Amino acid sequence: MQSEKYPISGKFLLGRLRHAMTEHEEDLLEGLFDAVEEAEHEQVLMQRGQLYDKSTMLIEGFAMRTIQHDGNTQIVGFQVPGDFIDLHAFALKRLDHSIVALGKTKVAYVPHNRLHKVMDQEPHLARLLWFSTLLDAAIHREWIMKLGNLRAIGRGAHFLAEVYRRLEMVGRAQAGSFDTPLNQRHLANICGTTPVHINRVVRDLKEAGLAEFQRGHVTIINRQALEKEGHFDPSYLYGEGDFAIGDELDIGQAD
Q: Determine phi and psi for 230, rounding to 5 degrees.
A: -90, 5
In this chain, which stretch among 10-18, 25-33, 178-186, 242-250 interacts with DNA, using CB under 7 A?
A: 178-186
Closest CA to 170 of 81, 240, 40, 241: 81
Q: What is the smallest separation between the CB atom of 148 and a second copy, expressed in angstroms?
A: 4
Identified binder of a second copy from the candidate list 22, 183, 216, 249, rule CB under 8 A: 249
Least separation, in Å, of the C-beta of 136 and a second copy? 6
Nearer to DNA (CB atom), residue 74 or residue 194: 194
Longest Cα pair distance anywhere in the chain, in angstroms? 57
One-character DSSP codes across the chain:
-HHHH-TTTTTTTTTTGGGGS-HHHHHHHHHH---EEEE-TT-EEE-TT-B-SEEEEEEEEEEEEEEEETTEEEEEEEE-TT-BTTTHHHHHSB-SSEEEEEEEEEEEEEEHHHHHHHHHH-HHHHHHHHHHHHHHHHHHHHHHHHHHH--HHHHHHHHHHHHHHHHHHTT--BTTEEE----HHHHHHHHTS-HHHHHHHHHHHHHTTSEEEETTEEEES-HHHHHHHTT--GGGG--TTTT-TTTSS-SS---
If the CB atoms of residues 1 and 253 are measured against a second copy, the closer one turns out to be 253
Whats the size of the chain, residue-wise?
A: 255
Q: Of the listed pieces 90-98, 104-112, 167-175, 182-190, which binds DNA according to CB under 7 A?
A: 182-190
**Contact of residue 194 among DNA, a second copy, none (CB under 5-8 Å per partner type):** DNA
CA-based torsion, 18, 248, 88, 91: positive or negative: positive
- Out of 36, 145, 208, 221, the only residue in the binding site for a second copy (CB under 8 A) is 145
Binds 175: which of a second copy, DNA, none (CB < 5-8 Å by kind) = none
> How remote is the C-alpha of 251 from its chain's centroid?
22
* 254 binds a second copy, rule: CB under 8 A: yes
Task: Give the range of 138-146, 173-181, 195-203, 219-227 binding a second copy by CB under 8 A.
Answer: 138-146
As measured in angstroms, the least distance from the Cβ of 7 to a second copy is: 27
Q: Scanning residues 15 to 74, which ones bind a second copy (CB under 8 A)?
A: 49, 51, 65, 67, 69-70, 72, 74
> Which residues from 139-158 bind DNA, rule CB under 7 A?
151-153
Question: Applying CB under 7 A, does 111 fall inside the site for DNA?
Answer: no
Size of site (CB under 7 A) for DNA: 18
Contact residues toward a second copy (CB under 8 A) are 49, 51, 65, 67, 69-70, 72, 74-77, 88, 91-94, 96-97, 113, 116-117, 119-120, 123, 126-127, 130-131, 133-134, 136-138, 140-145, 147-149, 189-192, 231, 233, 235-236, 238, 243, 245-246, 248-249, 251-255
